[in-house]
Amino acid sequence: MSLTFFKYQGTGNDFVMIDDRLETFDLQNHALIARLCHRKFGIGADGLILIRNHAEADFEMIYYNADGHLTSLCGNGSRCAAMFARQLNIVQTQCRFMTVQGILEAGISGNMVQLRMPDVSHIEQYADHFFYILVRRTTSAM
């Protein structure tokens, strides 16, 4: 199997990035995703991000955690996705892209990406972690 990928990092989080606009990557192959992200036996990453076409946005970002499962929004991953989309000539200085939380917007200037994140509507604190719920936005202006 041959796979073209890129490796991006944002504020210490690293991601395997794949241009999947032809939709050839098997979204259900969780074992492959985990193997690609494995630090000792794979490429090594905090997650895998696929870039796909989307009818209502510039592109779609599909994000998997290193365990191989689809997950919620990642801010650093979203910023890397915006920069990767620029590298692929999908966008230039502004973009709107679909995520599991809805459409996000980003601005790109040089090597910097500014991301508009969804608002947090609820936070619960536990002994070893926080749980939060993001507000899904359907429209916004940047």
What's the CA gap between 46 and 97, in Å, rounded?
Answer: 21
**Any domain includes 130:** no
- The model's pLDDT over 108-118, given as tens digits with 9 standing for 90+, comes to 999 999 999 87
- The model's pLDDT over 24-70, given as tens digits with 9 standing for 90+, comes to 999 999 999 999 999 999 999 999 999 999 999 999 999 999 999 99
Range of the domain at 17: 6-117
Task: State the number of CA atoms in the 13 A half-sphere of 25 facing the CB.
Answer: 22
CA of 104: how far to CAs of 8, 35, 43, 60, 79, in Å? 19, 29, 28, 10, 10
CATH assignment of the domain containing 109 = 3.10.310.10
Helix and strand numbers (H, E) in the chain are 2, 9
